[in-house]
Structure 1
Amino acid sequence: MKTPTRNRDATRLKLINAVGQVLAEKGFTHLGVNAVARQAGVDKVLIYRYFGGMPGLIKAFGQEGDFWPSMEELAGGDIDAYRVLPLEEKLKIMGRNYLEGIRKRPLTQEIMAWEMVERNNLTEELEIIRETRMLRFADLFLQVGGEAVDVMAVVGLMGAGLSYLICRSRRIRWYNGIDLENEEGWKRLENGIDLVVEGVAGLMQARD
């Protein structure tokens, strides 16, 4: 027999997963208390009981769901090994894993594309979560002290560029002659990450 705590945890998980399912199947305009409760197969009262309402449920979806690449994912799976790498290698690995991580999350792509045209509770909450996670990752692994180059500006430009190209690839095939529907095109972009990082590393060495 399930305990009340286990029942509560199972229902919370159902509701969190239901948010992603509604978004994936019906889009943002259909995301609401009734739709999520119906998808989860539970009474909508439980959304208020467990999360305090839709804003709380959306926050839980961002924090507990597989919305954004984890630190382990960005680091390539081995945090301890990643921690001791040179900054140049850290940036290459993070860039490649970010590209792969967002590409395999179509729902995240949908949210990223949506937040460019409409601000709502979901996009604002997930923006906070994304920014918090990335800044924490940078604080833990990318701060080496005394950098002659603004590393976070470089990371920001790479992340923004990759995010744009991933979202663009959902509707448009080509960008600057790069085929976004072909793995060879994405391989070119991975190599581009390495070139950018190597250029920045060379500049840092020249300024030391």
Structure 2
Amino acid sequence: MAKIIPISSPHTTKDKLVEATAAVLARDGYNKLRLQTVADEAGVSYGVALRKYGGLRCLVKSLGASPAFWPPASELLGDDTASLSALEPHAQMAAFFKRSLRALLDRPQTLDILAWEAVERNELTKLMEDCRVHTALEFFEHLSGEVPEEDDLSTVVLILAVAIQHLAVRSRNTKSMGGVDLTSDKGWDRVERAIDKLVEGFFTLYSDSSAGG
């Protein structure tokens, strides 16, 4: 069972408001997100919420940048960046997706919010996505070795990112998909092995095509 990581320890009013934003989003979605609702959830007045953040955009941006909501690059890189850099380029990239998956599974509230994003789109969902793109770019800046420089790589990254997010979200209410147990480490180990093979396969195809001229 995934552990629950709280958005923050609400030591300050600003912390409470960010935590309340996450709670309202996870429960009600983006279309029902209102500053008054967030203020009520945090136990503060509308005026206080407005003074602290000025509106929903700033609140959502603060939530999106919160390490408790979305794993930062430092978490995905880990403590031993030297060991990561020593891996083959395909293994480094696969590590990003595998670590992202495990980090998301530890953030069930985040998964509930991602589920809402699949059916509701507005300017606030774009703000959240921008925060996630920044994290990915920051991680990829640390990749070493020869990385394929072609348009297909960005598509592969997109497909894998969507796939791991979808699987993680579905694990909230689905026990298995395609015969893969989404409730056990054994099942997620299978997913991770598949990620390794998919990324390595793409890098191998790129290497072969480059060698062939």
Which of the five TM-score ranges fits, normalised by the shorter chain? Answer: 0.7 to 0.9
- With over 3 angstroms needed to count, the CA separation of the structure-2 counterparts of 1:151 and 1:77, relative to structure 1, is farther
1:133 is aligned to 135
What's 2:105 paired with?
103
Taking only aligned residues, the RMSD between alpha carbons, in angstroms, comes to 2.5
Aligned pair count?
Answer: 198
Note the C-alpha offset of 1:127.
Answer: 1.4
Q: For structure 2, which runs of at least 5 residues remain unmatched after alignment?
A: 1-10
Q: Is the 8 A contact 2:61 2:128 kept in 1?
A: yes
Equivalent residue, structure 1, for 2:169: 167
SS in 1 for 2:120: coil
Contact 2:91 / 2:200 at 8 angstroms: preserved in 1?
A: no
**Quick one: which of 100, 120, 123 aligns to 2:122?**
120
- Distance in 1 of aligned mates of 2:81 and 2:25: 32
> Once the 2 structures are TM-superposed, how far is the Cα of residue 80 of structure 1 from its aligned partner?
4.8
Q: Which whole-Å deviations, capped at 9, do the CAs of 1:178-205 have from their partners, x for residues lacking one? A: 1222332111111111111222232233
Shift of the 198–23 alpha-carbon distance from structure 1 to 2, 3 Å rule, reads same
- Spell out the pairing of 1:185-200 with structure 2 (5 A cutoff): 185-200=187-202
Q: Distance in 2 between matches of 1:10 and 1:88?
A: 43
Report the AA paired with residue 99 of structure 2. Answer: N
Which amino acid in structure 1 is aligned with residue 68 of structure 2?
D
Query: In structure 1, what residue type is equivalent to 2:94?
Result: K
- SS state of the match for residue 68, structure 1? coil
More helix by share: 1
SS, match of residue 141 in structure 1: coil
Q: Percent identity?
A: 33
Query: What is the CA–CA distance in structure 1 between the aligned matches of 2:122 and 2:148, rounded to whole Å?
Result: 37
| Distance in 1 (alpha carbons) for counterparts of 2:74 and 2:178 | 32
5+ unaligned residues in a row in structure 1: which ranges? 1-8
SS of aligned partner of 1:64: coil
Q: In the alignment, which residue of structure 2 is the partner of 1:14?
A: 16
Structure possessing the higher relative contact order (Cα contacts under 8 Å, 6 or more residues apart): 2
Deviations 1:109-160 (A, max 9, x none): 112111111113432221121123223333x134756726643322222111
In the alignment, what sits opposite 2:28?
Answer: 27
TM-score (ref. length: structure 2): 0.80
1:24-63 equivalent positions in 2, closer than 5 A? 24=26, 26-28=27-29, 31-63=33-65
Map of 2:70 onto structure 1:
68
Partners of 2:13 and 2:94 in 1: CA distance: 40
Q: Hey, what's the Cα distance between the residues in 1 that align with 2:67 and 2:98?
A: 22
